[in-house]
Amino acid sequence: MFQSAVLTISDKGSQGLRVDEAGPKVAAFLKENGYEVIYTGILPDEQEMIEAEMRRLAEEKVTLIVTTGGTGFSKRDVTPEACQNVCTRMIPGFGEAMRLASSKITDKAWLSRANAGILDESIIITLPGSPKAAVENLEAVIKPLRHGIEILLGLDSECAVKEPEK
């Protein structure tokens, strides 16, 4: 079981002016899919704070760091930039897969700037702030995510389909 953390990025949520619905839904989805959620938190839309928390969690060897919120067009939406700044390698396929899956539900999916990347031995995935959209986006990458983690941690060595021995 891999450890995970869920960060909600919301000015109003961090001030107690809005109840966080997305974070708990994402955490529940991760638990249902075999991840241990060891940390949840709420941060304001402050890029330096988001980056610091991502780095702290990676230093603590949290394998999967998932954020919800801050991926839209608002001037305060800086979560994708925080992810890009701290990650040494990006995972463009995850953002593409999430937008494609979500576009089957709404054409507004193409407005999402959600992304994903690798920081040390952690994978960071940024999700939309809507509880429904956050889970739908994570659902789009949950299966390949596990194998990606296994490769990142050296538990598996390749993505090719293994041929049965004759």
Residue 166 is assigned to a structural domain of this protein: no
Per the structure, how many domains does the chain have?
Answer: 1
Residue 134 is assigned to a structural domain of this protein: yes
Per the CB < 8 A criterion, the answer to whether 78 and 50 are in contact is yes
Which tops the pLDDT comparison, 139 or 157? 139
Per the CB < 8 A criterion, the answer to whether 30 and 134 are in contact is no
Q: Which structural domain, as residue segments, surrounds residue 16?
A: 7-32+42-70+81-86+93-152
pTM for the model: 0.94
Closest by CA to 156, choosing from 141, 146, 165, 164, is: 146
CATH code of residue 60: 3.40.980.10
pLDDT, tens digit, 9 for 90 and up, residues 132-149:
999 999 999 999 999 999
pLDDT score recorded for residue 158: 74
**Rounded Cα gap, residues 91 and 147, in angstroms:** 13
